[in-house]
Structure 1
Amino acid sequence: MANYPSIQQIYTHLHAHPETSWHEEKTTKYIETLLAETSFNIHRFDDCTGLVAELGHGKPCVAIRADMDALWQEVDGEFTANHSCGHDAHMSIVLHALFALEERKADWKGTLRVIFQPAEETIEGAIAMVEKGVVDDVDYLFGLHLRPIQELRSGEFAPAIQHGAVRFLEGRIEGEDAHGARPHLNKNAIELGAELVQLLNNIHVDPMVPHSAKVTSFHSGGKSTNIIPGRATFSIDVRAEDNEIMDELTDKIKSACHALSNLHGTGVQVDEKAQVPAAVISEEAAGYLEQGILKVRGEDALKRAIQTTGGDDFHFYTIRKPELKASMLAVGCDLKPGLHHPHMTFDQSVMADASRVLVETLLDVLKE
């Protein structure tokens, strides 16, 4: 692969040019420029970022998905786009795997498709890709994700990630402002927010099923410190390992908001903004990844499937297309302090082995 940039060069470029969901224009163009030097056929979309590249023809049709977007978060006191979830690494690993698979085209038959997907962080991109028909004829779909140090150590891999269900709720408190000297004339929206946090902490469901519900944003008041704010907006992040517990949690959160509204006579509304169901993993697809791990790293590196309350819109592919056989490669890389931390770091040397695992996995499927 002498004519192509190294995996480290690709990563360095992508990490230095993060773009948020649905704004991955430069990222899309960069990937297109790299793939233009290959034999892959490239398809861009008229109405959104992202692209699909394809090599070969016929069955089986095997696809890889790489998410593209960065987060918008505060880094050292300034809000900016930031690749703190590893999507820059995912793209780099997949691109390098594609270069290798092109060089070994004589070793496989069928169709290899890669989906560079926008807007994973807003849980919208996978659905958009499904609706564009990019997996209509796909038999196997593989994804990947860097894992935090608490789950896997550097050089360890797992053939599946059992993500939990995720829901993002958005709410609002609808009251009126009052003078700071007359707190009896309104309900302080900030105090209602504090009560809401306590109510969420008092929700109990089956403790044997990992779950969480927490307020992740709250906005109320302005620059005038002598005004008691009556209005606020807030967001709640809800996670659970299975879909039944997710439904139970969501119902209890809505009941808590309703009770808070009745208690204070102030409107407290909450609506679902987005959701991701729990993962549906194909044992067959996970088996191919397991064999790829064994070929590249051996038995010591192979670990059992990862269970996490984190979510990923990758699973919408199988929810919308149940016959699709899919699994995600879990990549151990000593990632710390954690995913979405503004200063997340990981062992970048692992990317080369992760790429080789994907290559061996796809070769096995495409040789069948």
Structure 2
Amino acid sequence: MLNVFEHYASLHEIPELGFQEFKTSAYISRHLKAAGFSVEDNFNATTGIVALLESGQPGPTLALRADMDALGHIINGEPCARHTCGHDAHSSVVLSAAQELIAEGAVKRGRLKLIFQPAEELGTGALAMIAGGAIDDVDMILGFHLRPAEECAVGTAIPAVRYSACVTLEATIRGLTAHAARPHLGINALDAAVSAVQAVNAVHLAPGKSWSAKATRFLCDAGVTNSIPDEARVVFDLRAGENEEMTQLQERVERAIKMSVAASGATAEVMLLKAMPAAEINEEMTALIAESIGEVLGEAALMPARATPGSEDFFHYAVQRPAVKSGFWGLGTGLTPGLHHPEMRFDLNSLPIGVKIFKTCVVKVLG
């Protein structure tokens, strides 16, 4: 049986983008089957994996979820996939915990389910697993994420990380082309797009809430420099600490875009590219995780729960299936210079700690 370091070394070398994790899922599936799990590959016609361990005794069904996909980067002018969000570490930790639990006969009641999920970065991987019925029979689900060095040190952990909702919108703004010498005959899509950005910057929610809305991509090119452009595309990133605020923010941003471009005679079509909900975390699961962290690392290593403006598609599980009790925790890893940075690094010695915390959680529920 390989240890967590060996799994990580193997998975780190085969980064794959969302719904293209063919080598990654094959590797994980092979080791789960060898350990004795019942494994369903290509779950819901994706690269996802669902594995099951039946104890044969009555009890709850507890799921552990790990994401598998890497991020797409452009490095030295070349597109590539790279594990800069730690999903290779997440899969390695859950895989190692699963192997050790079955080898030790630690699951004595109920069922342990493992969900290795594709496409977290796309925001649609969890939805695909839910649509396939992955958590229809699940009572509780736990997930985790490596945390940056500024949030918690190696040897510490956070029992609840409350992620924000994130919505990505793309506005396609259309005007009317004309010669630059006769701009009055056209409708400048570039000008209209600039107005849309300014209008979004003027959107406000209550200052006591956590939210932001900003343009993150602007594309406009008529192909020549002496022609009025008739089309521009702008991408907006929206964040909100609560799902209710996100609904309000999205409505206001879409209205601001459409009304601002209409002032110059342009039109805007707003498309939703990605949406991930804010955290919905069960307090009972947070207490379970906190107790497990304390047992593994000591009470001094138990950090307080914290909020983050980052987003995680894990929370689709709780939002889509509110009867399922969900918990999501953070592992101190000394991660620098930051998540999604092309040169992201962390202390590998944190990985066995993650394995122990997950194992302790499982034993408390199913042992």
User: What TM bracket, shorter-length normalisation?
Assistant: over 0.9
Q: In structure 1, how many angstroms separate the alpha carbons of the residues matched to 2:129 and 2:80?
A: 26
The CA distance in 1 between the partners of 2:198 and 2:106, in whole Å, is 62
Shift of 1:25: 1.3
Aligned to 1:196: 196
Corresponding residue of 1:230: 230
Moved more, 180-189 or 282-291: 180-189
Q: Judging changes above 3 Å, is the alpha-carbon distance between structure 1 residues 266 and 106 closer, same or farther for their aligned structure 2 residues?
A: closer
- 1:56-135 residue pairs with structure 2 within 5 A? 56-57=54-55, 58-106=58-106, 108-135=108-135
Q: Distance in 1 between matches of 2:5 and 2:260?
A: 52
Q: Which residue of 2 aligns with 1:294?
A: 294
* Secondary structure of residue in 1 paired with 2:116: strand
Per the alignment, in what secondary structure is the counterpart of residue 349 of structure 1?
Answer: helix
How far did 1:308 drift? 1.2
Matches of residues 1-368 of structure 1 in structure 2 within 5 Å?
4-44=1-41, 45=43, 47-57=45-55, 58-106=58-106, 108-221=108-221, 224-367=224-367
- Segments of structure 2 that go 5 or more residues without pairing to the other structure are none
Structure 1 residues 83 and 188, CA, compared in 2 at 3 Å: closer, same or farther?
farther
Match of 2:196, as an amino acid? L
CA contact (8 A) 1:27 1:68 kept: yes
Which residue identity does 1:137 align to in structure 2?
D
Cα deviation, 1:179-233, whole Å, max 9, x if unaligned, reads: 4444444344333333333222222211221111122222221654444422122
Deviates more, 1:353-362 or 1:32-41: 32-41
Point out the more displaced range, 193-202 or 43-52: 193-202
The 1-side partners of 2:141 and 2:340 are apart by 25
Distance 1:107 1:121, change over 3 A: closer
Aligned residue pairs: how many? 364
Q: 1:349 to 1:225 in 2, by over 3 A?
A: farther
- Alpha-carbon distance between aligned partners in 1 of 2:281 and 2:81, rounded to the nearest angstrom: 31
Q: Counterparts of 2:153 and 2:139 in 1: how far apart (Å)?
A: 31
| 8 Å contact kept, 2:86–2:145 | yes
CA change 1:223–1:82 in 2 (3 A) is farther
Distance (whole Å) between structure 1 residues aligned to residue 212 and residue 155 of structure 2: 30
- TM-score, normalising length from structure 1? 0.93
Residues in 1 aligned to 2:356 and 2:336: alpha-carbon distance in whole angstroms: 23
Runs (5+) with no aligned partner, structure 1? none
Name the aligned partner's letter for residue 93 of structure 1: V
Report the Cα distance in structure 2 between the residues aligned to 1:238 and 1:172, rounded to whole angstroms.
17
Rounded Cα–Cα distance in structure 1 between residues aligned with 2:150 and 2:181: 50
Q: Distance in 2 between matches of 1:262 and 1:363?
A: 60
Q: Which amino acid aligns with 1:148?
A: P
Query: In structure 1, how many angstroms separate the alpha carbons of the residues matched to 2:324 and 2:44?
Result: 26
Q: Please give the per-residue CA displacement for 1:322-343, whole angstroms capped at 9, x wherever unaligned.
A: 1111101211212222222222
Q: Deviations over 1:263-297 (max 9, x none)?
A: 11011221333322221111111111111101111
Offset, 1:82: 1.9
How many angstroms does 1:178 deviate by?
A: 3.5
- Distance in structure 2 (CA, Å) of the matches to 1:185 and 1:51: 57
Return structure 1 stretches of 4+ with deviation > 6 angstroms. none
Q: Equivalents in 1 of 2:293, 2:320: separation in Å?
A: 28
Is the Cα contact below 8 Å between 2:213 and 2:237 reproduced in 1?
yes
Read off the aligned partner of 1:243 and give its amino acid letter.
N
Kept in 2: contact 1:28–1:51 (CA 8 A): yes
Q: What is the alpha-carbon distance in structure 1 between the residues aligned to residue 44 and residue 19 of structure 2? A: 13
CA distance in 1, matches of 2:202, 2:44: 48
How far apart, in 2, do the equivalents of 1:346 and 1:188 lie?
48
Q: Report the 3-state secondary structure (helix = DSSP H, G, I; strand = E; otherwise coil) of the residue aligned with 1:246.
A: helix
CA-based RMSD: 1.9
Judge conservation of contact 1:257–1:269 (CA < 8 Å) in 2.
no
Contact 1:74–1:342, Cα closer than 8 Å, also in 2: no
1:158–1:306 Cα contact (<8 Å) kept: yes
Query: What TM-score results when the alignment is normalised by the length of structure 2?
Result: 0.93
* Paired residue secondary structure (2:314): helix
Shift of 1:12: 2.1
Contact 2:107 2:362 in 1 (8 A): no
> 1:221·1:228 contact (CA, 8 Å) conserved in 2?
no
